[in-house]
Amino acid sequence: MQKTYLAKKQDIKMKWYLVDAEGKILGRLATRIATILKGKHKPIFSPHIDTGDGVIVINASKIKVTGKKLKEKLYRKHSGYPGGFKEVPLETLLKKSPQTVIRLAVKRMLPLGPLGRRMLKKLKIYPDDKHPHAGQKPIILEV
């Protein structure tokens, strides 16, 4: 009878990956990043333990979307106060804060709760090609 493998803290070896978002499609990029943050690409994956790796995204401002999403996709939030509903189109948010667009796309693919928040902390996003994470020796990842 096979026993189910459960990852242990000492078995988890974290790596860092560098992703160049220039010319990449937002959803496909976010899916690949979420997979790496969760650790689903590793044979020791356990859904209740953070087995994932860190991801550094550069050139976030040069991301692409397909179809009419640039004009029609809206990011909505509510402050909780009367009249506190805000809608921002994707086009405006990309100009103002391209990191937010990628972060939200990835965040919504991760588990809810403390585990998902811990995974999201391992995502570093930069609008241009400069990043301060050379010390982590990131592996270049093709998406």
DSSP state of 43: T
Count: domains in the chain: 1
**Is residue 54 situated within a structural domain?**
yes
Q: Which residue has the higher pLDDT, 29 or 1?
A: 29
Domain that holds residue 123: 15-64+98-140
Where helices occur in 9-96 by DSSP H, the ranges are 26-38, 69-72, 90-96
The model's confidence at residue 52, banded by pLDDT at 50, 70 and 90, is very high
Nearest one of 39, 6, 57 to 115, comparing CA atoms: 39
Residue 73 lies in a domain: no
As a whole number, mean pLDDT of residues 57-71 equals: 95
Residue 5 covered by a domain:
no
Contact (Cβ atoms closer than 8 angstroms) between residue 56 and residue 16: yes
Is the separation of the CB atoms in 71 and 32 below 8 Å? no
* Residue 8 belongs to some domain of the structure: no
**Within-domain flag for 129:** yes
Residue-wise pLDDT tens digits, 27-51: 999 999 999 999 999 999 999 999 9
d(CA 65, CA 126): 18
SS3 label, residue 59: coil
Question: Which tokens hold the place of 29?
Answer: 């990029």
Residue 111 has pLDDT above 90, yes or no: yes
Quick check: 1 pLDDT over 80? no
Q: Is 86 within the bounds of a domain?
A: no
What is the chain's mean pLDDT, rounded? 95
How confident is the model over 74-90, as pLDDT tens digits? 999 999 999 999 999 99
pLDDT at 115: 96
Q: Would you say residue 59 lies in a domain? A: yes
Buried b (16+ CB within 10 A) or exposed e, 41-75: ebeeebeebbbbbbbbbbbbbbbeeeeeeeeebee
Q: Report yes or no on 77 lying in a domain.
A: no
The enclosing domain of 27 has a CATH number of 3.90.1180.10
Q: What does the alpha-carbon distance between residue 98 and residue 29 come to, in Å, rounded to a whole number?
A: 14
Which of 70, 65, 69, 67 has the alpha carbon at shortest distance from 23? 65
